[in-house]
Amino acid sequence: MKNIHIITGGSSGIGLECAKQFDEGTVIVTGRNEQRLINAVTELKANGIDAIYKQGDISSSESVRELFEFAKSLGEIKTVVNSAGVSGVGVDAKLTFEIDLLGTENLAINAKDYISKGGVLILLASMIGHVVPPNEAYDKYLEYPSTPGAIDSLVQIAQNKSDFAYNFSKRGVHLMVKRFAPEYGKEGLRILSISPGIIMTPMSKKAAEEHPEQMEYMKSMTPAGRNGEPEDISEVVKFLASDKASFITGTDILVDGGLAIRLPEIVAAYQNQ
C-alpha cells in the first residue's frame, strides 16, 4: 500500500510549500476553492510530487470524514498537516473560530481513527497563541470548542473581533495538542503543533496591506532580522513528519525567527499607544 500525506490548506502559502516536501507516496491537498486546488496540483506535479486534490471545508465534520474516507481508499495515511486557516482579515469572528478552532478539533478527532500507526498530525498554530494568557473562563471552550454554546461564548469573549478570534483560536490549538497527545500515543500516533512567526504568504501579505506599519515594526523586532518564508516552515514539517522525530509529540515548536521573545515588549508598546 502506498503512503498518503494529507495537507489541508495545501492550495496556498505554507500548506503548498509543505506539500512539496513529500516526494514519496501520494499527497492530497485540500481547500474550499477548486480552481486554486487545480493550480496547486499542477505546480506540485511540475515539482515531481504525486499530488491530487480533494475539495473540502475543515469546519464541517462531514467534509473532514469524507476526506479521510477518500484518503483511506488510496493507501495508508502517514501524515496529516493542517495548514487550512483564515487570519481573520475580511472574515467575521464566528467564522474565524469555526475554521481555525473548530476545524482543528474536527481534524484531531477524526484523524486519530484514520492515521496509520507511526503516523502524525501536525497542526499549524501561531506564535501569537503564546500571547493569550491562560484563563479558565475561556480555556475550557478553546480546548473543547464543539461543546454546545462554546463558539458563541468565545465570540462574546473576543468582543466579536476577528483578530482576537484568531489569537484565541491559536491558543486553542496549543491546548488541543496537549488534550489529544495521550490518546494519540495509545494508538502509536503523534500530534504536535508548529507556531510560525510572520511568514510571507498570501495570508500575511493581506495583513500587510491592512496594517503596513505594524508589519514593518514586527519585522524590525525579529531577532533573525527578516520575515520567514514558507520553506522555513516546510523544512521543519518534513523533519517532524519523519521517523527521526518519533519522540516529539504533545508539544509546540516555535519557528518565528525569535520574535516570540519580543512579544511582551510589542504588546506593551501597543497598549501604550
Which residues are identified as catalytic?
166
Looking at the DSSP assignment, which residues form a beta bridge with residue 31? 55
Nearest distance in Å: CB 1, ligand NAP: 26
> Whats the size of the chain, residue-wise?
273
User: Which residue's C-beta sits nearest to ligand NAP?
Assistant: 13
Q: At which residue does the C-alpha cell 517532524 appear?
A: 240
Cα distances from 152 to residues 59, 158, 167, in angstroms, run 15, 10, 16
Left, alpha or beta for 9 (phi > 0: left; psi -120 to 50: alpha)? left
Pick the closer one to ligand NAP by CB: 11 or 162.
Answer: 11
The interface region with ligand NAP, picked from 5-13, 105-113, 148-156, 236-244 by CB under 6 A, is 5-13
In the complex, minimum distance from the CB of residue 158 to ligand NAP, in angstroms, rounded to a whole number: 16
Task: Give the per-residue SS3 of 202-261.
Answer: HHHHHHHHHCHHHHHHHHHHCCCCCCECHHHHHHHHHHHHCHHHCCCCCCEEEECCCHHH
Is 36 a residue that touches ligand NAP (CB under 6 A)? yes
Of positions 4, 21, 27, 31, contacts ligand NAP by CB under 6 A:
31
Contact between 83 and ligand NAP by CB under 6 A: the answer reads yes
Give the residue with the Cβ less far from ligand NAP, 21 or 204: 204
For the bound state, the minimum distance from the C-beta of residue 81 to ligand NAP, rounded and expressed in Å, comes to 10
Of 193, 204, 222, 234, the residue at the interface with ligand NAP (CB under 6 A) is 204
